[in-house]
Structure 1
Amino acid sequence: MSMHRTNSEHGLAWVTGASSGMGRALALRLVRGGYSVVVTSRNHDKLVALQHEAAADGRIIVLDGDVTDPQDMDRVLASIEYEHGDLSLAVFTAGVTIPVRGDDLHREAFERSFAVNVNGVVNCLLPAVAHMKARGHGHIAIVSGAAGYGGLPGNAAYGATKAALINLAESLKSDLERIGIRLQLINPGLVDTIGSPRPGLPRSGAISADEAAEHIIEGLKSKHFEISFPKRSTTMAKISRLLPYGVYFALVDRLSRQSAAPPIATTKHASAKGRPHQAV
């Protein structure tokens, strides 16, 4: 099979979770910025609609795949290698948000959250790193979230996965830099994405998926390891972790009472059984 090199200004990018929300908005911005963009999710029709929307600006390449299936992600990367050229940038945005209540625990919520949010990243990371290592260069960004900074009511599964991704990225940064791969960590705060309830936090101050994508684009151009936004909510989340637990939990209880999110009990089962959607 012959290899076709991309002629785009910046090369070839890969965005997972690109059928909706922040991943979709990011793919569009990358295309407009000069990349050819491989988009991956389980929703073929939405990816094709994205491809058509971006046709006037550049090239979207649809490669369907389920991030929870490591063989699927190996196949996607093999297709990138042999049909489309060297991968310059990979941004892993795919994720699910499944609220969890301590008085109504369900194993499925934890298993699904870790399967998509953590193992899904690992399944993409391994082939991407192998590809970039062989070429001696590359750029990877992992979407975690401010929920990983500290525990919040309703976030036992989701927050734990985001904390795991923060640790994973911090642990891999130096090793990957030594083999020519730049690694960045994306930690969004409040971002409105369709179908993504955000337990434990008030909704005021949330930004749109397109605004989030703009922040990510600017962050990818910067020298910072962490890309975090909106500044107000992410800074508050970081500072809160420096508080003694007594003060921290009092603050969390107050914020929880102000939350405008729908009752967790009404959304839990639908979220747990639904398809993966963009979340932060």
Structure 2
Amino acid sequence: MAQPRMTPQDGVAWITGASSGIGAAVALELARRGWTVAATARRLDRLEELARASEGLPGRIVAHAGDVTDAVAMAALVETIEAVHGPVALAFLNAGVASGAGERKPGFDLAAAETTLTVNIFGVVRALAPVMARMSKRGRGQIAVTASLVGYRGLPLSAAYGASKAAMIHLCESLREDCARAGIVLQVVNPGFVETPMTERNGFSMPFLMQVDAAATRIADGFARGGFEITFPRRLAWLLKALRILPYPIYFALMRQVAKRL
């Protein structure tokens, strides 16, 4: 039986990585749909600017600065949000970086890899743990985690970034049944290329590049629709899904051709 999706009447939405890109666009889209959105990132000035942009919408955005790499701070932040605004009904764990991704450099950049893996993996789980615990006690809630189509299989120029997103897909697949038993809807968001400050650094042509507002609409629609995976654009998603079933000799032959064009 399908679990109920959360609505603005159930509580507030919490978004990490909300200062720009997909996080900021989804915060505004949810505010248009009547949600009170607690927006989190490290830069309070950017969050306050986002909150002002929501003025006049059916819902609103409230700024709550926080660093997802600090587990104690994340637990305290969730407690503060719920004390001030009410229960977190929908959590969109979106904070992430792509340090070094999309750039061809000699050797392996250890510092960039450590930054990417720390934020993209541990930044998610440090936010996930406190909000999942509170939702479990209430027996209801909805959590969505941003991964990526890049996480389907190893692609050139995305070693650390792709590995971090593959880890998020695996994490959500593994936790799905635990969450379902606790009354929590768990979703994974796998976007393709979206025009954001993060992708501006990519030094290659990005197929099926989407505008960030269109991506935010797809994501918010996915929250309302339910289902485990929210993925877009579908043409790129199905192409990469098909690549997952190829044996290594064929797959690596294709990737050699891809790498030559980057």
**TM-score between both structures, scaled by the size of structure 1:** 0.85
Note the C-alpha offset of 1:10: 5.4
Which residue does 2:67 correspond to in 1? 66
When residues 20 and 34 of structure 1 are mapped into structure 2, their CA distance, relative to the original with a 3 A threshold, is same
Between the aligned partners of 1:141 and 1:135, the Cα distance in structure 2 is 18
> What SS is found at the alignment partner of 1:157?
helix
Partners of 2:160 and 2:202 lie apart in 1 by 11
1:163 equivalent to 2:152? Answer no
SS in 2 for 1:91: strand
Tell me, in whole angstroms, the C-alpha distance in 2 between the residues paired with 1:138 and 1:17: 20
Aligned equivalents of 1:52, 1:110: Cα separation in 2: 35
Q: Secondary structure at the match of 2:77?
A: helix
Q: Relative to 1, partners in 2 of residues 1:202 and 1:234: Cα closer, same or farther, differing over 3 Å?
A: farther
Residue 195 of structure 2 is matched in structure 1 by 192
CA RMSD of aligned residues (A): 1.9
Partner of 1:271: none
Shift in CA distance, 200/228, structure 1 to aligned 2, threshold 3 Å? farther
The Cα shift of 1:71 comes to: 1.4
Write the letter of the residue equivalent to 1:246: P
Deviation of 1:97 after TM superposition, in Å, equals 0.6
Secondary structure of the corresponding residue to residue 191 of structure 1: coil
What's the offset of the Cα at 1:99? 2.6
Residue 19 of structure 2 aligns with which residue? 19
Contact 1:30 1:37 in 2 (8 A): yes
Q: Report deviation, 1:59.
A: 1.8
Counterpart of 1:104 in 2: which secondary structure?
coil
Give the conservation status (yes or no) of the 8 Å contact 1:14–1:89: yes
Question: Any conservation in 1 of the 2:34–2:60 contact (CA below 8 Å)?
Answer: no
Equivalent position SS for 2:199: coil
Q: Residues 10, 60 of structure 1: CA spacing in aligned structure 2 closer, same or farther, 3 A cutoff?
A: same
Q: Which consecutive aligned stretches of 4+ in structure 1 deviate over 6 angstroms post-superposition? A: none
**Cα deviations by residue, 1:164-205 (Å, 9 ceiling, x for unpaired):** 101000000001110111100111111121133576963131
Amino acid of the structure 2 residue aligned with 1:82: A
Q: Deviations over 1:230-280 (max 9, x none)?
A: 111111111011112222122223233334xxxxxxxxxxxxxxxxxxxxx
Question: Which residue of structure 2 lines up, in the alignment, with residue 40 of structure 1?
Answer: 40
What 5-or-longer segments of structure 2 have no aligned partner? Answer: 1-6
Aligned AA for 2:155?
L
Q: Which amino acid aligns with 1:84?
A: H
Aligned partners of 2:97 and 2:198 also within 8 Å: no
Identity %: 43
> Could you tell me which residue of structure 1 aligns to residue 132 of structure 2?
129
In the alignment of these two chains, the number of paired residues is 253
Residue segments in structure 1 that go unaligned for 5+ positions in a row: 1-6, 260-280
With a CA cutoff of 8 Å and minimum separation of 6, indicate the structure with the bigger relative contact order: 1
The answer for the alignment partner of 1:31 in structure 2 is 31
Equivalent position SS for 2:52: helix
Aligned position for 2:156: 153
> Which of 199, 203, 207 is the aligned partner of 1:204?
207
User: 2 CA distance for matches of 1:255 and 1:19?
Assistant: 33
Cα distance in 1, alignment partners of residues 42 and 34 from structure 2: 25
State the secondary structure of the residue aligned to 2:159. coil
The alignment partner of 1:207 has SS state of: coil
Distance 1:197 1:250, change over 3 A: farther
Give yes or no for the alignment of 1:249 onto 2:247.
no
SS in 2 for 1:206: coil
